[in-house]
């Protein structure tokens, strides 16, 4: 079911401009797929679909082409600049506070970076809890210099 749905998503975005998740949800329902917005959101992430300019002043979903590590970091910095309010660190936990509705975008880009020090992330509406390995080797003189925390701080600098 999932693979056929995701194949249909790729087919839809390749043949027509789809601007929103809601529009894609409606198109999938017309094709006989009964899905929720959350499922569509997960599918877009898994398929690595991104919004690109549509040439008419709007944006549409498209398949990501040859994304480099630098592209991911630039996108992460832009997302952090737009959504992140604060970052705090305690032991193997990092808490990121965002504007309301921004946590999922921030968590998705962090997950996509695939940092080895990270176990996983949990995103709510305006907060993300990141679990790190307890044996993070970086020194922590003030309790705030773990490797992952330092990487996130770099993203905050824009």
Q: Write down all domains in the chain, each with its CATH number in brackets.
A: 2-63 (1.10.10.10), 69-156 (3.30.1360.40)
- Looking at per-residue confidence, does 135 or 147 come out higher? 147
Q: What is the mean pLDDT of residues 103-131?
A: 88
Per residue in 34-70, pLDDT tens? Answer: 999 899 988 888 777 888 887 788 888 887 766 677 8
Per residue in 80-100, pLDDT tens? Answer: 988 899 999 888 889 999 999
Share of residues in the chain with pLDDT > 90 (%): 25
Structural contact between residues 48 and 64, judged by C-beta atoms closer than 8 angstroms:
yes
**CA-based Rg of the chain, rounded to a whole angstrom?**
18
Structure confidence at residue 158 (pLDDT): 64
Q: How confident is the model at residue 144 (pLDDT cuts 50, 70, 90)?
A: very low
The overall average pLDDT reported for the chain is 84
**In sequence order, which residues have a C-beta less than 8 Å from that of residue 79 and are 6 or more positions away?**
105, 106, 109
Taking 90 as the threshold, does the pLDDT of residue 24 lie above it?
A: yes
Q: Which DSSP symbol is given to 47? A: T
Pick the closest to residue 69 from 119, 12, 109 (CA basis). 109
Structure confidence at residue 53 (pLDDT): 81
Backbone angles phi, psi at 53, to 5 degrees: -60, 140
Q: Distance between terminal CA atoms of the chain?
A: 40
Q: Which DSSP symbol is given to 54? A: -
């Amino acid at each position: 079911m999932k693979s056929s749905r995701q194949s249909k998503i790729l087919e839809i975005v390749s043949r027509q401009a789809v601007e929103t998740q809601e529009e894609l949800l409606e198109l999938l329902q017309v094709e006989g797929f009964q899905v929720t917005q959350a499922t569509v959101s997960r599918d877009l992430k898994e398929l690595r679909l991104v919004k690109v300019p549509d040439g008419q002043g709007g944006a549409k979903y498209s398949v990501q082409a040859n994304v480099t590590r630098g592209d991911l970091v630039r996108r992460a910095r832009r997302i952090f600049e737009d959504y992140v309010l604060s970052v705090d660190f305690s032991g193997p936990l990092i808490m990121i506070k965002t504007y309301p509705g921004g946590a999922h975008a921030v968590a998705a880009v962090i997950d996509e970076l695939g940092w080895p020090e990270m176990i996983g992330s949990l995103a709510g509406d305006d907060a993300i809890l990141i679990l790190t390995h307890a044996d993070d080797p970086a020194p922590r003189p003030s309790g705030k210099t773990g490797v992952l925390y330092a990487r996130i701080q770099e993203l905050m600098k824009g």
